[in-house]
Structure 1
């Protein structure tokens, strides 16, 4: 057998190893952002943490994300995509274990800050590694598949937390991701770097050999010529250009969308849903951790469902539909807390609202938001556009991680979800007003839309 997988579009054993490595890293990333939700219950009890200190455990992770994301581009260019990925998985392993060994909140925060740096590097470098390594026939599927792998990792984190809830072993919850991190390291060591990086460093024969290994049926000379041309074009992009006409409108749109993705509260659910369920009246660690696992299972199904309909229904309806579900869910949460319908058995209306909120997010924002960053700019500005959106996304994530628990403690659940309701409504208006429908349009056509003042030229309108 040749090792090819026609069903997946994988054309060589090397391409298959790339798929496996990327999926594994996506799962580890999802696990590392999801495991704290259950672990925090037991960390709080053992270390007697205030709401602000509970928030710090997640906030320092996001602060590390920002640092890692800022370092990633230069590091990946200097030492290579593969070497940076090895740094990522080594960081995942070392700092996950360190997080499980600490004895006080200070060292827990320090270990999670460095784990956050590893995650920040991964957020930038893994998509680059995928886009530059994968055969063209499976590149789009891999990028979407990485999001599915991430949601799978979050679900796995909740299931592990649930299985360890009776023992309360939060150290094992945090440290377990070291195992797949070490295993995928052995796989990464055997992979070549990307052909694009080899060309960037003048190592053209290695680039040629890598292209042949990844996709034996490709026209290597043509692809090398395209890589050289793209490098020459991309290197001319400058940050200042993004804030001048004709790209300023697209830049403001991408920044606004990136910020709204997180400020509407999805990571309040991801990080703190067991605490939210306790506030709703649910009791028992196994219950308040098991319910979020069901929620993440629904999120995974919603993500997969979005993939099947987006090219037929269009992007605007998917985004607006997902945000509408978030608005309805936030309203339901307000009613649950405001009417005092919480009792010792828990509010199943509240559980349903959290489930729909998370599924709605993953169906809309979670599945589609990064598409706009990749489509809104010409090639020389595309990486900068994605970086700007990621920065806005992480800043909003930091705000939510730090202030959600103090808001719940100080204002109560109704007021806190009232804020999320208002922000989700703003997001709906923002998307309805500014997000173009790009289904079936070429990148050149979409670029013309933004260059034309966010209007489709007459000849390009449907």
Structure 2
């Protein structure tokens, strides 16, 4: 008779679960809500703080645009910051800074203090729009990644929508300090769950902390073998260390020059096509259409953003089913149609009745289409376009291009609207959207279902997915759909549909 076996005293590894990945996506979404709220809150507050501080039109415009200048600086430093501190510590820093600067905005005694605080808040926002999608993308399983990162955009739109309804509710008393300060509450609360989360496995491997990376993958992703996945990421990191890995110089040389052109173009086109003209200056646009009265001007933007929120939620459900390109291109195409409609309507010069409401519907559908396509996918592509060593820097470059275009629209749209008229303003946006559509048809890859390391092979192969060998290896040494490196394969027989 065999002796009885003694129970093992070794610790049992945690069972793989999607729970932590979902928690990371949820906390990132809360940060997204705060970002959206802070971005949109000034649209209502500016009406009343201009009266309190006696601001000229130029000073009022600077209060709006200085946030974007801070965004640009934040996006420029975000890549290096997230690599140095870690994805999670950067998120904790962002949440704490949101709380502090939102509260200080509400307490500002002069417009100079308000400008300084809003610049610092802008820097925080710029860091967050790089760090949050990066943290989410690197910490969630491939099967959830598209929806999780797109969920960040849902949260951002929800924050803007909340802003407009809060502004409408507080507009009767002119409570601009409350409008600006409310974001401090959720910002402070989200710090606690952030502190309890691990950092991303890819950041741990970037810093040589292999056991930490394996531990996190073993507990969070039931779809991968932690040892094989760690080995794949480490191979990819070693490959990227030829020359100065993670540098701007590497981004503008082959094989990643094409990826850099893509992310710069997407970041720029995302904003230059006019979405923030509607976000920042919707009261003037609705007045040009024929809507009058402060109540309408506060309420109608809220309705537009509510519709956009529904469109963003729709993108959340289909981005991992239909694919990135279908969602992106259908959104851009709808934007083009709505801008043509607006150009024609404004060109008639005399709108009334059905024409006014047709214009409102076109603005609502334009905004919804942006959030369904560009708005949702920019976060996904920003986190997917580059290999691990270049990923945070690539996201930073994309978002910097995005914010430069944002600043141009914020600064010059009122002058174009007043000097050339709405017909030329929206006709110009339509022409830019057409250029953006052609660019995206040519450049945007389909990355649905692919591991982050696997996407590297697409750029290494000149913007085409490598063929595969019968044994499943690719030119980049990755098993399709798994991200697992299997050795130095060569191109073979199965080709991904051309993009």
TM (norm. structure 2) is: 0.80
Secondary structure in 2 aligned to 1:347? helix
1:126 and 2:138 aligned: no
In the other structure, the counterpart of 2:359 is 350
Of the structure 1 ranges 220-229 and 322-331, higher mean CA displacement relative to structure 2 is found in 220-229
Unaligned residue ranges in structure 1 (runs of 5+):
1-8
Q: Determine if contact 2:272/2:409 at 8 Å carries over to the other structure.
A: yes
Deviation at 1:416, TM superposition (A): 1.8
Deviation at 1:163, TM superposition (A): 1.3
In the other structure, the counterpart of 2:189 is 183
Q: 1:392 aligns with which of 393, 401, 415?
A: 401
Equivalent-residue separation in structure 2 for 1:310 and 1:15 (angstroms):
18
In the other structure, the counterpart of 2:30 is 24
Against the structure 1 CA distance between its residues 326 and 217, is the aligned structure 2 distance closer, same or farther, given a 3 Å change threshold? Answer: closer
Q: 2:93 aligns with which of 82, 87, 90?
A: 87
Deviation at 1:342, TM superposition (A): 4.7
Unaligned residue ranges in structure 2 (runs of 5+):
1-15, 468-492
Equivalent-residue separation in structure 2 for 1:183 and 1:47 (angstroms):
32
Deviation at 1:130, TM superposition (A): 2.1
Q: 1:151 aligns with which of 136, 157, 181?
A: 157
Q: Determine if contact 1:283/1:344 at 8 Å carries over to the other structure.
A: no
In the other structure, the counterpart of 2:261 is 252
Q: 2:347 aligns with which of 338, 344, 350?
A: 338
Summarize deviations over 1:110-136 as a string: whole Å, max 9, x none. 111100111111112212322343455
Of the structure 1 ranges 154-163 and 270-279, higher mean CA displacement relative to structure 2 is found in 270-279
Pair member with larger Rg? 2
1:23-422 map, 5 Å: 23-135=29-141, 138-201=144-207, 207=213, 210-211=216-217, 214=220, 219-235=225-241, 236-311=245-320, 313-342=322-351, 347-422=356-431
Q: Determine if contact 2:76/2:397 at 8 Å carries over to the other structure.
A: no
Equivalent-residue separation in structure 2 for 1:106 and 1:461 (angstroms):
56
Summarize deviations over 1:133-188 as a string: whole Å, max 9, x none. 34555444322221211111111111111111211211111110001011112222
Against the structure 1 CA distance between its residues 375 and 332, is the aligned structure 2 distance closer, same or farther, given a 3 Å change threshold? Answer: same
Equivalent-residue separation in structure 2 for 1:212 and 1:452 (angstroms):
31
Deviation at 1:428, TM superposition (A): 2.0
Against the structure 1 CA distance between its residues 187 and 254, is the aligned structure 2 distance closer, same or farther, given a 3 Å change threshold? Answer: closer
Secondary structure in 2 aligned to 1:167? coil
Against the structure 1 CA distance between its residues 217 and 376, is the aligned structure 2 distance closer, same or farther, given a 3 Å change threshold? Answer: closer
Against the structure 1 CA distance between its residues 103 and 335, is the aligned structure 2 distance closer, same or farther, given a 3 Å change threshold? Answer: farther
Equivalent-residue separation in structure 2 for 1:320 and 1:136 (angstroms):
22
Secondary structure in 2 aligned to 1:301? helix
Equivalent-residue separation in structure 2 for 1:70 and 1:145 (angstroms):
24
Q: Determine if contact 1:33/1:271 at 8 Å carries over to the other structure.
A: no
Against the structure 1 CA distance between its residues 177 and 445, is the aligned structure 2 distance closer, same or farther, given a 3 Å change threshold? Answer: closer
Deviation at 1:69, TM superposition (A): 1.7
The root-mean-square deviation of aligned C-alpha atoms, in Å, is 3.3
Against the structure 1 CA distance between its residues 219 and 305, is the aligned structure 2 distance closer, same or farther, given a 3 Å change threshold? Answer: same
Deviation at 1:345, TM superposition (A): 11
Deviation at 1:262, TM superposition (A): 0.6
Equivalent-residue separation in structure 1 for 2:455 and 2:89 (angstroms):
34
Q: Determine if contact 1:89/1:182 at 8 Å carries over to the other structure.
A: yes
Q: Determine if contact 1:281/1:344 at 8 Å carries over to the other structure.
A: no
Against the structure 1 CA distance between its residues 411 and 53, is the aligned structure 2 distance closer, same or farther, given a 3 Å change threshold? Answer: farther
Q: Determine if contact 1:37/1:274 at 8 Å carries over to the other structure.
A: no
Q: Determine if contact 1:41/1:275 at 8 Å carries over to the other structure.
A: no
1:426-441 map, 5 Å: 426-437=435-446
Equivalent-residue separation in structure 1 for 2:285 and 2:44 (angstroms):
12
Equivalent-residue separation in structure 2 for 1:47 and 1:258 (angstroms):
35
Q: Which has the higher helix share?
A: 1
Against the structure 1 CA distance between its residues 174 and 442, is the aligned structure 2 distance closer, same or farther, given a 3 Å change threshold? Answer: closer
Against the structure 1 CA distance between its residues 415 and 315, is the aligned structure 2 distance closer, same or farther, given a 3 Å change threshold? Answer: same
The number of residues matched between the two structures is 453
